[in-house]
A and B are shown apart, each in its own frame.
Chain A
Amino acid sequence: MKYVVRVEKKKNLVKVISDLGGEGVSKCIQCGSCMSVCPVTLIGFDHPNKKLFKFVQMGEEEVLLSDPSPWACVACGRCIEVCTQDVNPFSVYFALRRFQVKGFRIHPLAREAVGSIYESGHAIFVENEVEREKFGLPKVSSAARSEKDLEEIREILKSSAISDLGILPR
């Protein structure tokens, strides 16, 4: 006897996640190869890679909006190398971050880093010219030292969807 479980699709999340950069998600067949090499999974985080991909296919929006694990991905790229269906699991993970961001679930660290890039052009910025001079290094030639270049970075951020999140400094 055959059992067929029919899951009713709640919402077409495959399209939403694809548009956010996770185009491969519909191809996932739950083989688990990605999890077998994922360092975040191996170290004991609750990092249910493939389960989340299934939830995308099933349209389970609430689970996907609240699961913190996409933020634990270390962007190591191993899963891309081994995925049997060329899903690019890493990209789906980052699409899930962006999906949560759209629902205003932004990891505080990400908020801070983007704010810092807006202010200085750098995610990490420290005044260390004296120390640099000691090592005989020139001034850092980045946007942090050039108003015109910094304005370009700000223009990019302001003209993107990030401006809708209310996290850019005024």
Chain B
Amino acid sequence: MKFGFFLGCQIPFLKPEVEASIRKVMSALGVELIDLEGYSCCPTWMSVPSLDLNAWLSISARNLAIAENLGVDVVTGCNNCFSVLNHARYLLKDEKRKFEVNRILSKFGKFYRGTSKVYHVIHVLSDFVDKKELKKKVVHPLKDLTVAIHPGCQLLWPTRIMDVKEENPFYPEKLKNLVEMLGAKAPYYSRLDYCCGAGTSVAYIDYEKSSYFVLTKLESMKEEIEPDLIVTPCSTCLIQIEEMQKKLKKDGKINFEIPVVYYTQLLAICMGIPANEVFREESAKIILEVIR
């Protein structure tokens, strides 16, 4: 199984440990990730898409054309890239838009066909990798661990633009099943599907209000399920929850701190990959303490 690996910006530059975990886990499962030479920002919602429709679609189409030339579908570990690229694919089904975009791409010899699909890392693990194979690779299952899952909005909505989707995105199952497969409990809590508040720019428009998203979420999970760990498959959510949780604690709004990890980081540890290969030093220590 082969995919073009769309790294985006946040994961390679801010969270290389997450990238390492995705690469290691996929390679252990026999999934080949091919780097996309010359790719660019997807481009993220708060950039080109906010300014000009055509330039957005052209940049997204250019990224997808790189994968098309390799004859592979795309996988990304970032909810934002997943959403931007799939929205672009959806809009480019319109022949007029596609024609306009190709007029621009042809200036430098590229062409967008629409042949490469865009999946999320979670989709590859839940829908493409053989469940039994995956289970076999879990050599250190988790015991007595309660996990609060946070799928992140852009992985769930709108389902019409996705090739793999939840049956009911308001009650998502895929991440839950993947966490339970590791031996942990992943009970429902009322704000499970709630937004983390990072989104496109809320944090910049009103930092204080943006932290309420995380506060609501944390209070709900703490009260309802008392989790040991928060697991998310989105780099943006990961950064937002980590940062805002620290802020909320400093401001005296909460008196606890729950470690937050990216799903493949947790999976890597369960597969016997050393923690320091997929976590920074301080986080590795914390995480090992939590799961032992």
Contacts and interface: CB of A to CB of B under 8 A. Distances in A.
Contacts of B48: 113-114, 117, 157, 162
A16 interface: no
Contacts of B158: 77-78, 80-81, 90
A81 B62 CA distance: 28
Nearest to B107: A155
A143 B20 contact: no
Interface stretch (B6-14, B218-226, B255-263): B6-14
Interface in B6-52: 7, 9-10, 12-14, 16-17, 19-20, 23, 35-41, 43-52
B154 interface: yes
Interface of A: 20-21, 39-40, 43-45, 68, 71-78, 80-81, 90, 94-95, 97-98, 101, 106-107, 109-110, 113-114, 116-117, 121-126, 128, 131-132, 135-138, 140-143, 146, 148-153, 155-157, 159-162, 165
Interface stretch (B111-119, B120-128, B141-149, B196-204): B196-204
Contacts of A123: 9, 41, 43-44, 46-47
A162 B50 contact: no
A40 B40 contact: no
Given A80-B160, A122-B13, A43 B20 contact: no
Measured as residues with beta carbon below 8 angstroms from the partner, the interface class of chain B is 35 or more
A68 to B, nearest CB: 7
Contacts of B198: 74
Given A81-B159, A155-B108, A160-B52, 15 more contacts: A21-B53, A21-B91, A40-B199, A71-B201, A74-B153, A74-B195, A74-B197, A101-B51, A114-B48, A121-B39, A123-B41, A137-B20, A146-B37, A161-B51, A162-B52
Contacts of B209: 43-45
Interface of B: 7, 9-10, 12-14, 16-17, 19-20, 23, 35-41, 43-55, 58-59, 62, 80, 83, 91, 104, 107-108, 110, 153-154, 156-161, 169, 194-195, 197-202, 204-206, 209, 212-213, 216, 277-278
8 contacts: A81-B158, A94-B45, A101-B51, A107-B46, A124-B41, A142-B12, A150-B40, A156-B59
A156 B16 contact: no
A156 B104 contact: yes
